[in-house]
Amino acid sequence: MTKQTSAYFVTGTDTDVGKTVATAWLASELALHSRTAVVKPLQTGTTTPDVDGDEAFYRQHLNSTVTLTTIRSLPEPLAPSIAAQRIGESIELAPVVEQCETIIRDHDVTLVEGAGGLLVTINEREDMAALALALKTPLVVAIRPALGTLNHTMLTIEAAQRRGLKVDLLVCSGFPDDAGVVELENLRFLRDVFPSLPLVVLRMGDLIRGGLKELQPRILGSKPRLLTNCDIPMFHFDSRHMKR
């Protein structure tokens, strides 16, 4: 019988929205039941990603059973196409896709973390959406809880749908303990507008001191298929802050 494998492309509504935190948390949950890999195809802002890149964060918070790979790194913290151009290089998508596919075949589940948002450019012709399409992966979209997230989230979902990409999960990263009307109404709005789209809420925790358990995940809606074997409590709105 052929081994079933799956992969998901983790993108964000912007840079620094908690995409790496969301990826690490998902990998920690998945690794309890599956042979799991995390791939960073394109890392910018460092040439030593296992020391000061996203891979370093993964190594700090994930156990050794998770396979961690950075395919290509570039020194300046810019869009990959620009970072490559500034050192006289270019990035071809095909070799990146091939390396990702090799890792995907060797694991039960693989998380591929993009750089920035879905339309961040890889070269003059292709972007992160093109990479996700080439890998035939559904999307996990990391979002902010704060003001502005509704526009960013809906634009990202629309861009994905226009390109034939399926969004499987939203992850709201950095949800504050003292959440007020803005954060709570944003969650309610997204739940109302996308009722069939699962949404996981990760709190803003002290990861340096407490690790990934600080995130205290909660879920809105049905459980996403990639977390079928994971026990995640439901998110409950505080009625004192809600309009209805």
- Any idea which residues carry the catalytic annotation? 40
Single out the residue of 79, 68, 13, 7 nearest to residue 43, CA to CA: 79
Tell me if 66 sits within 8 A of 31, measured CB to CB: yes
First to last CA, the chain: 52
Specify burial of residue 43 (Cβ count, 10 A radius: 0-12, 13-18, 19+): buried
How many Cβ atoms are within 10 Å of 120's Cβ, its own excluded?
A: 23
Q: Which two tokens stand for residue 119?
A: 């339309």
Q: What span, in angstroms and rounded, lies between the C-alpha atoms of 104 and 124? A: 26
Tell me if 10 sits within 8 A of 111, measured CB to CB: yes
